[in-house]
Amino acid sequence: MKAAVVPSLGAPLEIRDVPVPEPGPGQVLVRIETCGLCHTDIHAARGEWPVQPKDLLVPGHEGVGTIEAVGPGDDELPVQVGQRVALPWLGHACGHCRSCVAGWETYCTAPSYMGYTMDGSYAEHAVAWASHVVPVPDSVSSRDASPLTCAGVTTYKGLKVAAPQPGETAMVVGIGGLGHLGLQYARIFGSRTIAVDVHDDKLQLAKDLGADHVVDGRGDQQAEIEALGGVDVALVTVPSPAAMRAAHAALNPNGRLVLVGLPADNRLELPVFETVLKGISVIGSLVGTRNDLADCFDLHSRGLTRVVTEGRRLEDVNACFDEVLAGEVPARLVFEM
């Protein structure tokens, strides 16, 4: 099969012909139809995080495709051959640690991550754990389902844990692959919305998606947001410590700062004095559970979200990385196999 492989960390990806993987017990073989490009894939390929990915990694954790085969020795799998499924970031969780039992499987103590610790979906086939793939409804296209599998569920869960209320204001910083969906989820929760970005096309996209207010981060962001009455929830989707600090400064008393982007240098400095006196909560949120992803698919099936994508060929993966890093992508690039 054809796959995009990281030959060594930091090197350009190579399109290689590699053997089709074989599913083991409890696993399935999926013929990939689409896979979104997440900024995390770039971090993985460059080895920019403290925990290094597997050698000769095939990235990709927004894969969607059809199950072609199941592993040996298990007739009680939750999915079956012919079913279309999504292969999310959380490739597998143990199911019995404290976090898993409490319903917080994304914080499992012994996880496997698709496209990081196990090969992902930048390929024509991928192996996944049957227990952790998520069925995709017929009413959701594969091209839409791919971004929902990470960008969607990540922002949905981030807002869910911050619990925005109808009388509150939620701000989404960065209206890209994650943020354009986060903005829509904030509206679904019933909050007034403020969208912040530094690109004219993204600001226009936010308007098109129904943002109540749009703020250009290149201007006096703090003054504009103060004039709007501040915000109660700030979801920061960009891996920028400066953007995180600006969002923190915009929060009202009892405000919640939600972080889902991961800066390469792994550092963020925030003022303790203001955090304490205003009772601000800083919340880290890692993707979402299988149930959360099913919620995202359901919301999309009901016509409540719109996924903005552009299709790409896997052969152009390195040029696509450059597009993302240059901020030239309207929302989400999706490889179509």
- Segment 32-78, tens digit of pLDDT: 999 999 999 999 999 998 889 999 999 999 999 999 999 998 678 99
**Phi/psi zone of residue 245: left (φ > 0), alpha (ψ -120 to 50 degrees), beta?**
alpha
Q: Which residues contact 214 (CB under 8 A, 6 or more apart)?
A: 194, 195, 196, 197, 203, 206, 207
- Cα dist from 30 to 57, 243, 289, whole Å: 17, 38, 20
Residue 265: is its pLDDT beyond 90?
Answer: no
**Phi/psi zone of residue 326: left (φ > 0), alpha (ψ -120 to 50 degrees), beta?**
alpha
Fold of 2-135+307-336: Quinone Oxidoreductase; Chain A, domain 1 (3.90.180)
Question: What average pLDDT does the segment 180-207 reach?
Answer: 97
In the chain, where does the domain assigned CATH 3.90.180.10 lie? Answer: 2-135+307-336
Residue 330 is predicted with a pLDDT of 84
Pairing status of strand 27-36 against strand 14-17 = unpaired
Report which residue type is found at 203. L
Report pTM: 0.96
Name the CATH superfamily for 152-284.
Answer: NAD(P)-binding Rossmann-like Domain (3.40.50.720)
In the chain, where does the domain assigned CATH 3.40.50.720 lie? Answer: 152-284
Chain mean pLDDT for the chain: 96
Residue 75 is predicted with a pLDDT of 72
**Tally of residues, the chain:** 337
